[in-house]
Amino acid sequence: MTSLIHPNANKIVKHKVKADQNYSRLDSFIASALDNQSRTRIKTLILQGYLSSKGETITDPSHRVKQGTIYTLTIPTLETPIPEPEDIKLEIIFEDTDLIVINKPAGLVVHPAPGNNSGTLVNALLAHCGDSLHGIGGVRRPGIVHRLDKHTSGLMVAAKNDSSHNSLSVQFSKRTINRAYQAVVWGIPRPSCGIMKGNIGRHKRNRKKMAVLQNSGKSAITKYKVIKRYSNVASLLECKLSTGRTHQIRVHMAEMGHPVIGDSIYGGAIKRGRRSRLNKQTYNYIQQLNRQALHAFKLGFKHPKTEKNVMYNSKLPIEIRRLISLLEDL
């Protein structure tokens, strides 16, 4: 085995094999120790020569690890190009010299990342706000203080200067932001209102997913209330976040056994038991929905300059209203 040098690497992690991990696959062992890297990414890094043990490079992802052995992984920087302005239409709810509130459509990625280097909300904001937005909060995520998943729609606020960025960031970190979502989920949650508490962290087997974890992860609290029932098939919920973890509502609803309709990652696709309760028209519509039925409809915060409490609302997008109309006819 030969040693390979990667000078552009920016992070080195070391992990020692425990007794219960003895003879595990190398890629599985490393992936289980890292929360922010998928197993596919780990496998690629191993194949490219970024992993070593006892001074020798190991390039076999299926290599069996041994108890007490220390493995060192060098994680190289993933360079994301600095975003450029793009003429992408925005639905602007409010705008002044300090901030902008927009209604993000489903399908729009918030900021550039590997695989999504253009066509994002950041590209649209750069075109709309001009050069003043450059550098606020970092050149790759200018103005961004929070996110919505790609296939979730709804209200977002972005800062247009450093003081607004600092103020809004503090409000999010202190959890004083008022955020509410509407979600159409499978089944009828019982009780009809409650609080879901469950730590959320990276799924142990599928590193691209999040999961409720018993002894690790970060605290996550979601308040929910059933707004309307559609037979025994589905229901419309209002969800409020006390914390803001990745995929929080989607993970918590799935953990309760009521995944968001259209959310194929967390069990919201049409399964055999659900299909029998749908008519053909509703079944076909959900199959082609191409998004999860989750919308951030309310956003409130203290304005960074005036210090007045402001609240913005957004009605459900037409594709979710159409879904509800079909469910009402069941």
| pLDDT single digits (tens) 85-129 | 999 999 999 999 999 999 999 999 998 877 778 999 999 999 999
Range with lowest mean pLDDT among 12-26, 29-43, 253-267: 29-43
The CATH number of the domain where 145 resides is what?
3.30.2350.10
DSSP code of 248? Answer: H
Give the residue ranges of DSSP H helices in the chain: 26-33, 39-47, 121-129, 162-173, 248-255, 272-275, 280-287, 318-328
Residue 133 confidence (pLDDT):
76
Whether residue 184 is predicted with pLDDT greater than 80 in this model: the reply is yes
Asked whether residue 291 is domain-assigned, the answer is yes
Domain containing 42: what range?
9-76
Q: How far apart are CA 195 and CA 241, in angstroms?
A: 10
Same domain, 185 and 319: yes
The tokens describing 6, both together, are 């990667």
**Pairing relation of β-strands 92-95 and 178-186?**
unpaired
**10: confidence class by pLDDT, cuts 50, 70, 90:** low
**6: confidence class by pLDDT, cuts 50, 70, 90:** very low
Please identify, among 130, 153, 173, the residue that sits at the C-terminal boundary of a domain. 173
Asked whether residue 85 is domain-assigned, the answer is no
Question: Number of structural domains, the chain?
Answer: 3
Query: Model's pTM, two decimal places?
Result: 0.79
Same domain, 62 and 107: no
Tell me the residue ranges of DSSP E strands in 85-233. 92-95, 99-104, 153-159, 178-186, 193-197, 200-202, 210-212, 221-230
Same domain, 276 and 194: yes
Higher-confidence residue of 8 and 289: namely: 289
Asked whether residue 81 is domain-assigned, the answer is no
Range with lowest mean pLDDT among 132-136, 191-195, 283-287, 319-323: 132-136
Please identify, among 22, 48, 76, the residue that sits at the C-terminal boundary of a domain. 76
Q: How far apart are CA 161 and CA 133, in angstroms?
A: 7
Whether residue 32 is predicted with pLDDT greater than 90 in this model: the reply is no
Asked whether residue 309 is domain-assigned, the answer is yes
Same domain, 233 and 215: yes
Same domain, 234 and 319: yes
In the chain, what percentage of residues exceed pLDDT 90? 71
Same domain, 163 and 72: no
Same domain, 13 and 63: yes
Same domain, 184 and 218: yes
Whether residue 326 is predicted with pLDDT greater than 90 in this model: the reply is yes
Asked whether residue 310 is domain-assigned, the answer is yes
Asked whether residue 261 is domain-assigned, the answer is yes
Give the residue numbers annotated as catalytic, written as ranges: 149
Same domain, 194 and 288: yes
Q: How far apart are CA 125 and CA 120, in angstroms?
A: 9
Over range 217-223, report the average pLDDT.
94
Same domain, 275 and 191: yes
Same domain, 207 and 308: yes
Please identify, among 173, 206, 225, the residue that sits at the C-terminal boundary of a domain. 173
Q: Is residue 298 a contact partner of residue 180, using CB atoms and an 8 Å limit?
A: yes
Same domain, 71 and 124: no
Whether residue 183 is predicted with pLDDT greater than 70 in this model: the reply is yes
